[in-house]
Amino acid sequence: MKKITLGVEGMSCAACSSSLEKHLNGKEGVASASVNLVMANATVEYDENALNQADIEKFIKEAGFKSTGLFVLKDESKLHKTQKILLIAYGVLTVVLLYLTMGTMIGLPVPDFLNMHKSPIVYTAVLFGLVVFYLAYGADIFRNGIKTLWHRAPNMDTLVTIGVFSGFCYSVYVMIMIFGGHVTYVDALGTHMYVDSLYFESCAVVIYFIKLGRFIDRASKNKTKQAIKDLVQITPSKAVILSDGAEKEVSIDEVKKGDTVVCKPGERIAVDGTVTRGNAHLDESFISGESKPVSKKEGDKVVAGSINYDGYLEYTAERIGKDSTISEIVHLVVEATNTKMPIARIADKVSGIFVPVVIGIALIALVVYLFFEPIGEAVKTFVTVLVVACPCSLGLATPLAIVVSEGKCAQNGILVKKSETLEIASKANAVVFDKTGTLTYGKLKISEFFCYDVLPREKVMDYAASLESMSSHPIAAAFNSPEQVLQVENFENMGGYGISGVIEGQKVIMGNAKMLAHFDIDNDREDDERALAQKGNSIVYIVIGGKIAGLFGVNDLIKEDAKPAIRKLTERGIEVIMLTGDNQATAEIIAAELGITRVIANVLPGEKAKLIKQLKREGKTVIMCGDGINDSPALASAHIGVSVHNGTDIAMNSSDVILMSDDLNKIDNLLTVGKRTVGNIKQNLFWAFFYNCLMIPIALGALKWLGIVISPMIAGIAMVMSSLTVILNALRLRLIKFNKGE
């Protein structure tokens, strides 16, 4: 299966994205498709043996939309400026139009040659000429409306198109009657004649307010995408490389893997790489959310976009362009905004049937009004219902909130891979932590060592250090390699038990007490093990030639932020559980210091996943937090898997959330964002549904007996206000205060 994200033009409301998504998911060879209204793109997973990108783009065209190719975040500032100028120009024209049509009604002086009653033919001709300009301004709306109707996927543009052209055609009929010499003013008996039945101005004003609403929507969407854009633009456009011993400035595109790149104080790191010379403090806050400078020296990784505070660095270019950390982060964030929360499916289902139902209601109203009211009143009601029911706010309710929240999380070093994670986080009631590398730094040291006379003490230490040098487990860091590492043959990593290899012809095994039982080795050193465990040590046996040669007590350091983070989770009423492969005594000592009351120890990686599933069966919504090394099965089994990373390796793993720094307070922040986002979406959906439930009956004339009626112009204004309410509410999520720890 292959996954691509394509840009899509022509979507204006939830009905658009819903119909396109349904169309794509119904195509053979498409495994899944998700359409994002705010980002204006479609993410499609498909069988690459059956389909290609051209086929997907053809499907998009079939649905009445246009693919713009592979999705990229574009700088839309020029387009925005052009649209703003047009909006201002037509805004002035709209004021003039309203002055001509309503001036006499409110006592404003209107020149006789433009007065509707004194010069009806000139007045009508001017009105017709102006509305033609508006029809040209709204051509994109009409094209899309006709196209989606043709493809039996009506949307907001369809409603506007039908409404505007109905009013326009009726007004043309009235104009013909006026030009034919019929009475065109209000006579002495107060009878309304043709000139008062023109709806050209209503058609024009509706188009203007639809365009105004679109402009506001687009501006708001651009604001929500700003965090992602900032990441895209954070890497420099130039770099300095060493060529034949001399510094040479090149464009970022000219940097190749293996080049030696130079970074001086005040400059940004140009590409991801490894330091080969020098040392400095770098600001990596754009990916970690942490303002504290990070020390870098020879052998350390650096990330493109980091700011060099104070030192000279030379580093080897390793990850460039789309392979860079920044590109991967942007990809993850964009992909996350393209997934849907379960709550979002409510809006999708409603949008899928809403537009056809509204068209039906409007048609019924037209027929009924034709029996009891003049044709002009019937047409006005028909147009008003179609305009007032445009589901703009419904379409923005969920995606805007998601994009704002995803951007907020990304800015603070929390990468959420699927938006549904935020909804699950709002319901979480249990957080399970791995111990080593998650609650502790994983920076271990040997606190005590018992040697049992199988070999000299120095020899046992050399064997242990040489074997551990082959391992990637955090505990290996406690064993300093000897100056001359002994050759290890047949190295094997035995998950959950330990490691083994052959050194100088001797079989050497290192691991915990379970390892002894696994190899049927008699353990007569349990008293020493208990003594070490009571001091909070992790236990590592070394067996040489089938005999226990030594016992190491290894200590770990608890992270400074672990205790306050756990306290905050407990204050939320969330059960905190420690899950570890360490022995019970060691685990309980650390748990007591952290304030964790439930400890599950001596657990193999596979057993961790089973215990997570058991917690889920108990009805708990579980977040599992681990270092991503030995915790993949458990991370995948939890409702939400949270992986703690160092900020440079965010490749595929089993987690749903990646913390770009090891600050555990970010889990509390994730829960905060989850609750606020779901609450915000519920508010948006309420206002969107409330607006339509309230305005459609009013448009039908339900309150006419109270003297409350609305025209197509008022309907257009009301539609804009409803969208604006949802937009402003969603943007409040940018104000969420994140917990920075203590």
Catalytic residues: 434
Within 8 A by CB and 6+ apart from 556, the residues are 435, 436, 440, 441, 442, 443, 444, 538, 590
From 78, 80, 93, select the one nearest 135 (Cα to Cα). 93
Cβ count near 493 (within 10 Å): 13
Taking the CA atoms of 376, 377, 382 and 384 in sequence, report the sign of the dihedral they define: positive
If you count them, how many residues does the chain have? 742
Residue with tokens 């998911």: 25
H/E segment holding residue 578: strand 575-579
Long-range contact set of residues 468-476: C-beta below 8 Å, sequence gap at least 24: 468/499, 468/510, 470/499, 470/501, 471/499, 472/629, 473/499, 473/629, 473/630, 474/436, 474/437, 474/442, 474/443, 474/444, 474/627, 474/629, 475/436, 475/444, 475/538, 475/540, 475/554
CB 9 within 8 A of CB 68: yes
Diameter of the chain measured on Cα atoms = 123
In terms of Cβ atoms closer than 10 Å to its own Cβ (0-12, 13-18, 19+), residue 369 is buried
CB 205 within 8 A of CB 712: yes
- The β-bridge partners of 555 are 445
CB 463 within 8 A of CB 491: no
Which pair of tokens denotes residue 644? 């703690």
CB 394 within 8 A of CB 14: yes
- The β-bridge partners of 272 are 319
From 691, 689, 679, 688, select the one nearest 726 (Cα to Cα). 688
CB 255 within 8 A of CB 239: yes
Distance of alpha carbon 205 from its chain centroid, rounded? 36
Q: How far apart are CA 168 and CA 132, in angstroms?
A: 10
Q: How far apart are CA 410 and CA 416, in angstroms?
A: 8
Residue with tokens 């400035």: 249
H/E segment holding residue 138: none
- The β-bridge partners of 600 are 579
Q: How far apart are CA 662 and CA 443, in angstroms?
A: 13
The two counts, helices (H) then strands (E), for the chain are 23, 26
CB 204 within 8 A of CB 210: no
Which pair of tokens denotes residue 700? 């039908």
Which pair of tokens denotes residue 583? 């022995």
